Amino acid sequence: MKFPVRRIKVLFASVFLSAALFSGCASGPQLLPESYLENMAVGQFAQMKEELPVSRNRAHVQQVERIGARLAAAVADEMPDMEWEFVVFDDPSINAFAMPGGKVGVFTGLIELSESDDELAVVIGHEIAHVQQRHANQRLSAELIRMGLGVAVAYGASRQDQVDPNLIMAAYGLGSQVGVMLPYSRHHEYEADYKGLLIMARAGYDPHAAVAFWEKMEAAASRGGVPEYLSTHPAPGNRIARLKAAIPDALREQEHAEAQNFLRERGLLDD
Ligand SMILES: [Zn+2]
């Protein structure tokens, strides 16, 4: 796709400006307007749907849409305007991804590896958590700063100008896509595991499935042919212990959500 290119002058080192923009978020700087990333991701996702085979397997499509709808409902309060879209790509890769703007892709190989809605909800919940936590923006911003382009991009963004897409593309490296090929930091991955577990539990899925699912992923890796998902994610062993430790939090979250739903259904909650 084509972006209007507008050159952004690299300014005198505007420490004040960058400090102002880098603060204001707990886990990492977000230099780019989220709407900008969302527009870019929506275009890339549309392109992927043209270039990759979209599944016609009704059972797979219905399963992913069913799980996606429940998980999206669980985050609707915090992301009311997100236009979630869940697409099954017919590909044996054990993989899934999510992009800013709520575009989620799940590959056939992953659906076949998981044996229940609960297990598939573990991965889709993890991906939704990346979107919820705006990890793509943080990851990309960190890369721009590393390249010394942070101030230039921040200046463009602060003036509501078009951010020069060449700068963004430089940060990705050629051919990679928002939230797809972009590996996140370990911190972001563990955060997505934790928040994703809360999301799936809130949606009524069994958080214990996370342990079962990652053990399956580990077994698949040890059989050789490392699942694609693991090429951008930490090794399962490291995550299983953390997920186990997070299960009590997830169960509490579930109980709270159930209580809220109970009250809401009886009109005892004013929202
Ligand atoms: Zn991840």
* C-alpha of residue 130 to centroid of ligand 1, in Å: 7
What CA–CA distance (Å, rounded) separates 34 from 40?
Answer: 10
- Give the number of residues written for the chain: 271
* C-alpha of residue 98 to centroid of ligand 1, in Å: 9
Listed in sequence order, the DSSP H helices in 133-208 are: 135-146, 150-158, 165-172, 186-202
* C-alpha of residue 127 to centroid of ligand 1, in Å: 6
In the chain, the number of structural domains is 1
**pLDDT for the residue 14:** 30
The answer to whether residue 119 is catalytic is no
Residue 9 resides in a domain:
no
Residue 145 resides in a domain:
yes
**pLDDT for the residue 12:** 28
**pLDDT for the residue 128:** 96
Asked if residue 31 has pLDDT above 70, the reply is: yes
Tokens of 196: 């994703």
Q: Residue 86 sits in which domain range?
A: 15-263
Sign of CA dihedral 62, 64, 68, 70: positive
* C-alpha of residue 233 to centroid of ligand 1, in Å: 6
Residue 167 resides in a domain:
yes
Residue 2 resides in a domain:
no
Sign of CA dihedral 190, 193, 197, 200: positive
Higher-confidence residue of 269 and 61: namely: 61
Residue 218 resides in a domain:
yes
Residues lining ion ligand 1 (Cβ < 5 A) are 189, 192
- The percentage of residues in the chain with a pLDDT greater than 90, rounded to a whole number, is 47
pLDDT digits (tens, 9 = 90+) for 61-94: 999 999 999 999 999 999 999 999 999 999 998 9
Higher-confidence residue of 140 and 49: namely: 49
Residue 229 resides in a domain:
yes
Among 30-39, 105-114, 119-128, 154-163, the least confident range: 154-163
Asked if residue 17 has pLDDT above 80, the reply is: no
**pLDDT for the residue 243:** 95
* C-alpha of residue 258 to centroid of ligand 1, in Å: 27
pLDDT digits (tens, 9 = 90+) for 182-223: 577 888 899 999 999 999 999 999 999 999 999 999 898 888
Residue 94 resides in a domain:
yes
Residue 10 resides in a domain:
no
Asked if residue 111 has pLDDT above 60, the reply is: yes
Please give the model's pTM, rounded to 2 decimal places. 0.81
Highest mean predicted confidence (pLDDT) among 171-175, 200-204, 231-235:
200-204
Tokens of 264: 């809401």
- Active-site hit among 38, 85, 119, 127: 127
Distance of alpha carbon 78 from its chain centroid, rounded?
A: 15
